Amino acid sequence: MLAKIFLELTEFSWFRRIAWKPIYNHLAKQFPYDDWVFMNYGYEPADPAERPELDASDEPDRYPLQLYHFLATRTEIKDKTMLEVGSGRGGGASYIARYLKPEQITGMDIANHAVEFAGKRHQSPNLRYVTGNAEAIPFGDESFDVVINVESSHAYGSVERFFSEVRRVLRPGGYFLITDMRDPKNLASFEETLLASGLQMASKEVISERVVQAIELEDDLKRARIRKQIPARYVKFFEEFGGVKGSQIDKDLRSGSLVYFWYVMRKV
């Protein structure tokens, strides 16, 4: 019942603005586990031969990390200057810094405790984390070649303001890579808002099936991790939040009542 009320309230921008930051801050403070560095539902390519090779230490995070890998490699990022908006516990920016070698990647998140956690947990010479709001990005005009955004935009008060900020901080010719999910009835207006920002669409794809497959493949590991780390009274909540097989998110992505997508946009 409470979960249903919460979800209904997230339809309102004022509620999204006040609700998400304390939740992600609380999670970072209360559960500062070093091996929990991603908070997305993952991705598995249709052709397993396309899977990236990983160091053994990154293997347990294969599926959430692959969401970053396959989105980030939609454009050339080697030696580029990158910003991640909504970097969470920092695993995605760290993967990009270490494997895909941009000149610099800055992970930015509104939840300051998540930013502190990420800064302590991940180190690479071309990586840093800062606190900041997607609706008022704390960087000057034309500061970045690429902006990436993974499973975060659904939490923003105004995506219109976010897209306008992305356009402002991107250099001409720069790329905006975004992946997230929406109720299909809101997808057309999401795309209209994206195009109204003045960014040009290079490509888009619905990836729900790929995400569902990742949920399926990661299920045993995800459940085992939750049971090992989380006090018994919170296990049910974390299984829902983490999207185990059979959770509402899994059902909605399978039935099509939620659509997972990515867009590659360019500032011309």
Question: What span, in angstroms and rounded, lies between the C-alpha atoms of 264 and 243?
Answer: 25
Among 20, 70, 175, 190, binds ligand SAM (CB under 6 A): 20
- The residues pairing with 201 across neighbouring beta strands, listed in sequence order, are 265
Q: How many positions of this chain bind ligand SAM (CB under 6 A)?
A: 23
**Cα torsion angle, 230, 233, 239, 242, sign:** negative
Q: Please, what is the minimum distance in Å from the beta carbon of residue 12 to ligand SAM? A: 14
Q: Which of 205, 186, 249 is nearest to 39 (CA)?
A: 249
Among 39, 177, 211, 214, binds ligand SAM (CB under 6 A): 39
Burial label for 1, CB within 10 Å (0-12, 13-18, 19+), is exposed
**Cα torsion angle, 38, 43, 44, 45, sign:** negative
Question: What span, in angstroms and rounded, lies between the C-alpha atoms of 147 and 160?
Answer: 16
Q: Give the strand pairing for 127-131 and 144-150.
A: unpaired
Q: Please, what is the minimum distance in Å from the beta carbon of residue 88 to ligand SAM? A: 3
Among 66, 94, 133, 208, binds ligand SAM (CB under 6 A): 133
Options 33-41, 74-82, 196-204, 212-220: segment touching ligand SAM (CB under 6 A): 33-41
Name which of residues 95 to 124 contact ligand SAM (CB under 6 A): 109-111, 114
Please report the DSSP string for 14-52 in residue order. Answer: HHHHHHHHHHHHHHHHH---TT----S-----SSGGGPP
Which of 186/200 has CB closer to ligand SAM?
Answer: 186
Is 63 among the residues that bind ligand SAM (CB under 6 A)?
no
| Structural tokens at position 57 | 């230490």
Q: Please, what is the minimum distance in Å from the beta carbon of residue 30 to ligand SAM? A: 14
Q: Please, what is the minimum distance in Å from the beta carbon of residue 38 to ligand SAM? A: 4
Among 66, 75, 152, 197, binds ligand SAM (CB under 6 A): 152
Among 151, 218, 219, 250, binds ligand SAM (CB under 6 A): 151
Residue nearest to ligand SAM (CB): 88
List interacting residues with ligand SAM (CB under 6 A).
Answer: 20, 24, 38-40, 85-88, 91-92, 109-111, 114, 133-135, 150-152, 155-156
